[in-house]
Structure 1
Amino acid sequence: MGLDQTVRDISEEISSRISAAAMGRGEWSDVCAGFTRAFPGSFAALLNQNFVRPEVSFAKVDGLEDQYLQSFVTHYSYVNPWRRFWEFASNGAICVSERDDPATKYKKSAFYNEWMRSIGDYDASIGLRLQVNDDYIIYLPVHFSVSLSEVYESRLEAVIANTRRSLTNAIQIASYLRDTSDYAAARSALVGRSNAIAFVVDRAGRLKDANHRAIDAFARARPVLNRQGSVRFLQPEITTWLGKLLHESPPDLTRKRVMNISEERWLISVNQLPVTMFSQLIRGQDQFLVQLTDLGSNGSCYDGDLLAEAYRITPAEIRLCRALSAGLLLNEAASCSGISYENARQKLKSIFRKTGVSNQSDLKLLLNSLA
């Protein structure tokens, strides 16, 4: 069998594995195994890395012990001297290390001495770089001994070039499924949010979807604005707070803050939506539900007149009830109502006594029944 036919056969086998993994009929580790089977003595990896955050959101390998993959993902991927190629090369670029950027250049680096020397004789490599979006890069490196370069280089480079289209198509399919799933998640998050200004943004604060109240607020430019697809608050301090919060967002982010505009008081709540995982290779985007509840609106939560008539609740106590029903903690409700924490505690005891409830959970149930 000629060299060209061997390259075609290997390329077709790996392309079929890529297609199977993309459609959920196979594993991405099988793609890596296709390379190591065709090129004995090598190891192959497939990774999706965000070089901005930074993070590695996906990693599969064949031919390398798991402990080395984990140490690469958690630490050495961030000090990898070849990251300049992975981060900045053109989409679809292929790097042949011995020709383009040999390992001998980095023998004094911590990456080489601490990681590459520990995994064995794999100084030569050929890798493919593909761009997912502005932040995430998928790369597929195959490592082997320098002693095998003369035998492997031209054939492996040809196989990677031949399978590049299959992997590109798989990324496009996964990206489409991710975008569709992300849109559905944003739509679902807005269901039942008609009592508040509610919208969904991504990590950069770009608007993904909004309910009718939010659209009306954007049109009025109060208390929140939409400027060329980016959300801004009438109070710049809140815009800065949200931007920092989204950028640094810890897992399962949940935050609340009160915004004061003249005589208006708004409760802002931010919750991270579950990340969609239609494809292991490409994770869903981080999306956040932002809600603004008017703490001074008489009709936003419940009938205050009915509460006063039924339980002889005072106006000051009604304001405290409204803040608590909007989701504020007692100390936050006290600050929002312009009273001390101790004063709020006494008013809450009075509300409990008048309504016959014994805790805040039961009070919220009562208030919801008067909505």
Structure 2
Amino acid sequence: MAAGLALSGAALAQGVIRIGEINSYKAQPAFLEPYKKGMDLAVEEVNAAGGVNGRKLELLTRDDNANPGDAVRLAEELVAREKVDVLAGSFLSNTGLALADFARQKKFFYLAAEPLTDKIVWSNGNRYTYRLRPSTYMQVAMLVPEAAKLKKKRWALVYPNYEYGQSSVATFKQLLKAAQPDVEFVAEQAPPLGKLDAGSVVQALADAKPDAIFNVLFAADLTKFVREGNTRGLFQGREVVSVLSGEPEYLDALKDETPNGWIVTGYPWYAIQTPEHKAFFLAYHAKYQDYPRLGSVVGYSAIKSIAAGVKKAGGTDTEKLVAAFKGLEVVTPFGLIAYRAQDNQSTMGAFVGKTKNEGGKGVMVDFSYQSGAKYQPSDEEVKKLRAAD
């Protein structure tokens, strides 16, 4: 009898596509709660339409406690015990890199939905790891033309001292110097992630008397930085260029403290009129009675990408999935994207615009969508950057 039950359980498992998803839910709830909602909506839509090649999707989520070691342990458990077909997820760059290395070692398909580090698709890239969100290089490259237009000579830099912050600043320096050779970088503040001493950081930046500031802080660190900067007048008469700060996850938290006129990447959900986004917004709002955040778009698009990849591959065999994702096209709320064959990076873009404090709420204005396909190094440079495949 027990053997019969086990057999029926195995047969049932073969009838579904199991997605093992690992993320820092407790550590980064502002982004990851909407992200989970986006994933659940996509799973519901795919299954309501009959699944993928007749198989329904099943999502298994795990919390990695923002710890790379925990992320790898959970990946091993999901693959060995839960028999998942693919791995997905991670928010922080260090956990994303750990999972990418796991995928390389185990020869197991992994879609890195959110971590922004360039290493995932370049120096630490491997054939089993694909990435959805636009990388640090791509988002910084979208901002540099706007920064160069300001014609400010003395720049100060502030960023979290881990992979995402370090690579963002390195790219900003490289690209801005190329666009504006006389630029000077007069101060750098790199506090540990989540441990910003806002008073000392803001004072150090003010003491350097920069003409402009490039900011890479996010989440609670960003809120503290803006509050202290407003209090001490750091932003008065100074331009600020800031990665991610136009995302509702972070603008919503700033509320009436939102600064005016920062040049940012973000997601102005309330003003996007494309058919793809309207359909997504209406479905999301109907399900949750809430508006989407950027995390919602990323989670939704990750599941849709996996479904499209499995459909193209004709199943969940890892090698067939790896091949199917090369050049794979997926319709997302931001329109059609493709996964580049040369480095496994998707062409999903971001919105670039300015922050505005509108009646005590932060919004993005004067924005435009920048396709990720336009903000990449040349194929020759990518080959040099990508050490192994």
- Per the TM superposition, whether the score is higher than 0.5 is no
Normalised by the length of structure 1, the TM-score is: 0.32
Give 1 or 2 for the bigger CA radius of gyration: 1
Normalised by the length of structure 2, the TM-score is: 0.31
